[in-house]
Amino acid sequence: MKIRYLGTAAAEGIPAMFCHCENCEKARRAGGKNIRTRSQTLIDGKLNVDFSPDSYMHELCYGLNYADVRYYLFTHVHEDHFYPLDFNYMYHGLGHVPEGHPGYDVYGSEDILPGLQSLEHSGDMDYLRLHPLAPFKTAEIGDYRVTPIRANHGTPHPYCYIISDGKKTILYLHDTGLLPEDSLSCITGSGLHFDLVSYDCTGGNHERLSYTSHLCFADIRRYTEEFRALGLIDGRTVLVLNHFSHNSPAVNYDDRGVYEALGYVMAYDGLEIEV
């Protein structure tokens, strides 16, 4: 399974618009992998997770064509993950595809429905099919089995996901704070082996956060210990930190040594990992 991180920042991006903070100034000076855009991850070029206001730029930068991506999965409806307005351009009067094109299948909690059903052309797009997912119920999405897990975040029904292609399994923890009890037991009781865990690291290298909707590195280390003790992860598991905010410490790519020293990969825009 190939996991490609296209956008690795929290909502404001790094550097953030309208911001002169130290992290943003450092990122502006250093450039390269220190520049982070809003959330999007593409699995095997087939299953897209989240579609942000930067997705058009990702299409250009990474040589993609969204007409060739059938499956769109959403974690939640914050605008840095869910920017449905650009789905208007799926409309066949605007985006041209050959006869027999399979159309598009979109998945997420019920929260995605209003934004997609109110698109200007949605009534004329029978090739845009919406699939609300129930928590903890595994769905077949193309070649993948996808289990939504309730997240702890600031939208009505946010999800994290377990995604498997039958050979490899990843745990995608975006966006979430400390997980609700039923979600944690869904993971810890799954009996699965995770080949990759992608952690919400919005809090950067903080020891504790003053808010509950994201994780920091100290929370992540505790989860890793718990997962390792239960045999859900082992030395082969790739541990990725993603979704960085300019408001937290150690979030520029040049700070990655803090995390690498403990065996974690700090995501950057364009990073591809094969498990």
What does residue 90 show for φ and ψ, rounded to 5 degrees?
A: -70, -25
What is the greatest pairwise CA distance in the chain?
A: 54
User: Per CB under 5 A, which of residues 68..107 are in contact with Zn ion?
Assistant: 78, 80
Which of 4/78 has CB closer to Zn ion? 78
Smaller CB separation from Zn ion, 16 or 141: 16
**Among 3, 6, 16, 170, which residue interacts with Zn ion (rule: CB under 5 A)?**
16
Contacting Zn ion (CB under 5 A), which of 70, 150, 206, 246? 246
Structure tokens at 160: 């994290």
- Nearest approach, Cβ of residue 22 and Zn ion (Å): 8
Contact at 8 Å (CB) between 39 and 9? yes
DSSP 32: G
Contacts within 8 Å (CB) and 24+ apart, 226-230: 226/188, 227/187, 227/188, 227/194, 227/197, 230/188
Asked if 250 interacts with Zn ion (CB under 5 A), we say no
Q: Does 262 bind Zn ion (CB under 5 A)?
A: no
DSSP strand pairing (265-266 vs 272-274): unpaired
Contacts of 79 (CB under 8 A, 6+ apart): 11, 52, 53
21 is a site residue for Zn ion (CB under 5 A): yes
- From 18-26, 93-101, 140-148, 264-272, span contacting Zn ion (CB under 5 A): 18-26
Q: Is residue 157 near Zn ion by the rule CB under 5 A? A: no
d(CA 41, CA 271) in angstroms, rounded, equals: 10
Using the contact rule CB under 5 A, the part of the chain among 13-21, 60-68, 184-192, 204-212 near Zn ion is 13-21
Q: Which is nearer to Zn ion, 34 or 169 (CB)?
A: 34
At 204, is the secondary structure helix, strand, or coil? coil
Residues 166-205 that bind Zn ion (CB under 5 A): 175
Indicate whether 19 belongs to the interface with Zn ion (CB under 5 A). yes
Give how many residues touch Zn ion by CB under 5 A.
8
CB atoms under 10 Å from CB of 29, counted, come to 10
Say whether residue 24 binds Zn ion (CB under 5 A).
yes
Question: Which residues form the interface with Zn ion (CB under 5 A)?
Answer: 16, 19, 21, 24, 78, 80, 175, 246
